Each structure stands twice: as structure tokens, then as C-alpha cells.
Structure 1
Amino acid sequence: MPELPEVEVSRMGISPHLVGEKVVKVTVRTPKLRWDIPTELKEMQGQVIQSISRRAKYLLIQTKVGTAIVHLGMSGSLRVLDAELAPQKHDHVDVKLANGKVLRYNDPRRFGAWLWSEDGCHTVLKTMGPEPLTDDFDADYISAKAVSKRVTVKQFIMDNKIVVGVGNIYANESLFTAGILPTRGAGTLSLNEWQKLVKEIKKVLSTAIAQGGTTLKDFAQADGKPGYFAQELQVYGKGGQACPCCAHPVKEQKIGQRNTFFCEYCQR
């Protein structure tokens, strides 16, 4: 499932081809993905794309009359292609541009979404916490949120109401490099530990973006290339293998229905 780094990589990949270009046609081949695709999406036709931004794992394609809000779901991808190229199976949405290119959305599992908002402030965005790579996300903020919380620290940092975009892969990796057990209660961490964890979350996410994201099964960049952060993973997906720091076996267990990987010797 594309996480924040993969969505940011997609944004960076498509933006140079779309921003400043005029939309000539919007084609919807599948009327329902995760939710019904609103008919208002076609209001983009005749409009110039002003910007493409990201909020959590949503991409916001802004025009003068409104904003298309795109979520890649479990297996969605965006490609910029020649408009003459025939659509393939699972190509559900096309945004054709005046420059002869098309932004094409492919999603085999159909868990993604295309939404529309006149002001860019859709209900799916209203309850989200701060972006993890901004100054709004720091140890003082999250330690205050964690007071008396019994939920595990891993589940806590993956809660989009607390901070957006720290998905399962990056939560595992950040907790490992910060030396914090994912099973600990969020309320038990000291301010110093939160400082370490916030620093590692920012570092891991930034490195993943620089590496083009993480390709495990479905994700590819907008140009079709895989993300290379998978080569940097230290514990995620490595249950039973040697810890890269102490050589003891990496443990694996379910936390909140998600596979969790950690070293009981290096993490406390």
C-alpha cells in the first residue's frame, strides 16, 4: 500500500508535467472505486492545473474552480503518458491535457478514490493531525498528546489524528532506529524518547522520499521505476533474520492487526 513517501514521490513525478497545463477532457471508465467518483470531477475540463500538493496520503490537484482529491488506495498508481496510448485493464480515470499528455490512474484492487471539492477542504481531510515533516510535529506536541495513553506507541504514531502518514513500514523502521519497543504504551515514553522518535520518523520518511519510496509489491514511481528504499529496510519484513545491529533474530508479532518487526535486545 503506498504510504506517505510513495505518495510524495508520485506528486513530485507528475507535477512537472501537469502544473500550468490545461485539462481538455476527463474520462471516468469506472464510476465507483472506494467511493463513487463524483460527476463534478469533469468541472476540471477547460481549467488550468494551478498546483499539485499532498495532505497525508491524498494528492490535491488544484484548479480555479475546484480541487480533485486522489487517494491511491492499496494498489493505485498515476502515470503521465502520451494521450494516444490506449488504456489498459484497470485504467479507471484519465485527465487529458492540451499538451498531448494524459494523467492516467490505474488501480487493480479499486480501493483508491477520486473526490472533488470546490474549496479543497473535503471532509476526509478535516480530522487529520500535522504533517510529520513540518515543524508542527515535534516532541512537545506528541508527548502532550500521549499523556496517559495506554495504546501501544506503534499504534499511536500510526493514528492519522495524531500525525499523518506514518504507515506500517515507516513506523517499524523509525521505532527500531530510535531504540524503542513498539509494544510499549505511548504514555510511558519520556520527552527524551519522544525527541529521538520524532527525529527518526522525520529521517526515515525523508530518506524514503529521496530513495523514491518503497517497492514491495504494487508501488512504482510515476515513470514506472520502482522505489529503492526497500534496500534500506532494517527490520520490516525480516522476522527471524539477524538484527543488523546485534545479530539476534528479529521478532515478529501482530499489533493492531498489523505485522510488527523489532529487536527485543536493541529496543527498550
Structure 2
Amino acid sequence: MQYLKDLQDGEINQLLTLGEDLKAQLQDFERQEIVTKASFVEGLRAILQSHLHQTRLVLPIELRPRSVAETFYALENLIKTYIAVEQATMATLPMRAEMILNDQYSYKALVDDLVEANALAIAERKNILPKTREEGESKYTLEQINEVLHQSNEYAGVGSFANALEAIEQLERMIADFDKYHILVIDRPTIQNNKAFAFFRLNRLNEALHCIDKLLANYEDFALGHHTRAEILDALVRYEEAIESMDQAIALENTPDKVAFRESLLKKISG
């Protein structure tokens, strides 16, 4: 979100800092096993129910320790502002919760999307965004874009990677059109990663590697992308490079599955 930092607005910078703090807190809670993926989603659903019924937020018991609760209250404020900016997000957030449970999305990506949407609302209110958009309307709505995104994830979830790839390519065309007229907050790195992974699962390895390299050229701190790159290089029998990619992934996000995959690569080298 460098383009938002470049606006050099104090209110926006404060929001960006809040987002980084939230992600760090959630990562720390996850590391200590205070907050799990499932409990995070339960907290997210509680926030959505509170907003839907206009009631006070009641968090699940495991999320009520003070430091954890304060983090979720901050998340609640971001979500409420996000929904106020774009009502259609009320329908997409439950879908994102399911995607988190299915490892197709992450709390980090969610926080980034919330922060970006809120920061853009501030920038538009202050009229400090560069004038780069065309006049008119996109052929596609936010709801249609999110529906195709959901379809692509559904296809991947059942192993139908040819259909997933087709849906992602349709999604890319829709996003390109929408971008001409509006600022779209969507998890672009994960979409590109999913495209590379679909190529990989279809054994189109050179296309997969090209796709993931293009992604990492723009998002070098995207841990999942480095992990996917390692899987592609593994399939190409380029084990040393695969280990280098896993080292980068682990440096960014140290999780048991990443460590286990790195160890499996080492075994292949050692014979």
C-alpha cells in the first residue's frame, strides 16, 4: 500500500500503522495458540452478527481476555467503517470468513483489505487521490466480481483446477475493467498465487513459475507466494532453489507446514 503512504496524510498513516499493529498482535496470539484460525473466524462472525442486529459485540469466551478483546474491538471498528463505505461488503465478509477456514484467505489479507478500504475513503473525502480514473461505470459490479472469486475458490477446493483457472482469468478481466473506473480493494496477491497454483496442479509448470515470479516481483513479502514457488520448483526438480524459496517463506511466516515442506526438500537432496 505504498501509494497510500505516498499521500503523506497523517490520518491515513495512523490507520496504516494500526493495521500493521493489528496483524502483529494477531500473529503473536496465533503463535501463543491464544487465537486459532477457527476462533478468529468465530470472532469475525460475532462482529458481523453484532452489526447486522445492531447489538453490542459479545465475543466468544476464548476471545475475552483483555488484550485479545481489544484487538477484536479494533477490528470491529475497521469492519463497521468498511461496511459504511461499501454496503456490498456485508455480503462478502461471510464468504471471506469461509475462505479463511479453508486456507484460501488469511487474517492478514483481511486486515490489509479493511485498512486499504478505510484509507481510500479518507483519501476520497479529502480529495487527495491522483485523478487517474476514467469517467463512467464498469460493466461489472463488486458483487459479480466477488461471486467469480468465490467460484474460483470453490473449484480449487474440489480439485477442479481447469475450471478454477478459467474463473481466475475471467476474474482478471473483470478486475481490469473495474479498475478503469473505481478503486477496487481485493486480495490481488492471493488471486495471482491461486492462478500460479492452478497452473502447477495442471502440470503447466513453466507457466506456473512465470506467474509466481511475476507476483513476487511486486509482492516480495508475500509468504504464501514463496511457498507456492517452492512447490513449483520442487516439481521441476530444482530442489536447491526450492529450499531458498522456502527459507524466504519461513522468514516471513514461520509455520509448521512450511518447516515440514522444507525438511522434505532437504531429504530429496540428501537422498
TM-score (norm 1): 0.31
Q: Which has the higher contact order (CA 8 A, sep 6+)?
A: 1
As a proportion of its length, which structure holds more strand?
A: 1
TM-score (norm 2): 0.30
